[in-house]
């Protein structure tokens, strides 16, 4: 199950995104849609240091209308203390055409 806004991944049985409070869907956003013959390659443009930096980065991309996928975001929900041990699996990914704009907008965060 996936959040249609942030792209967070959740286990079966979870019905709502813990961050966005939206109902989950079965297909990941910005992922391959096999029945329509569409494939979008996603490229990592940003690795936030913590949850607040992730929220800021997502807000920046939202305001610019850039669609993204927050790869690994559900891991931070499952293992909330993981960042204390230097593990940060979250990556913001966008389509290839949005890479230059997204990188430019997010460069000041690091």
pLDDT of residue 93: 92
State which residues of the chain have pLDDT below 50: 32-35, 86
- Domain coordinates in residue numbering, the chain: 42-109
CA pair distance 103, 101, nearest whole angstrom: 6
Q: What is the CATH topology of the domain spanning 42-109?
A: Alpha-Beta Plaits (3.30.70)
pLDDT of residue 38: 58
Question: Which residues, 6+ apart, have CB-to-CB distance to 99 below 8 Å?
Answer: 43, 45
Nearest Cα residue to 76 out of 53, 102, 59, 99:
53
pLDDT of residue 88: 59
| Tokens coding 38 | 């569409």
């Amino acid at each position: 199950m996936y959040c249609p806004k942030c792209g967070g991944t959740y286990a079966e049985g979870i019905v709502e995104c813990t961050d966005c409070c939206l109902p989950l869907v079965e297909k990941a956003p910005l992922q391959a849609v096999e029945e329509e013959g569409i494939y979008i390659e996603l490229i990592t443009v940003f690795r936030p240091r913590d949850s607040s930096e992730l929220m800021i980065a997502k807000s920046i991309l939202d305001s610019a209308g850039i669609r993204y996928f927050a790869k690994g975001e559900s891991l931070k929900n499952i293992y909330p203390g993981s960042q204390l041990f230097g593990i940060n699996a979250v990556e913001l990914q966008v389509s290839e055409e949005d890479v230059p704009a997204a990188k430019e907008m997010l460069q000041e965060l690091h």
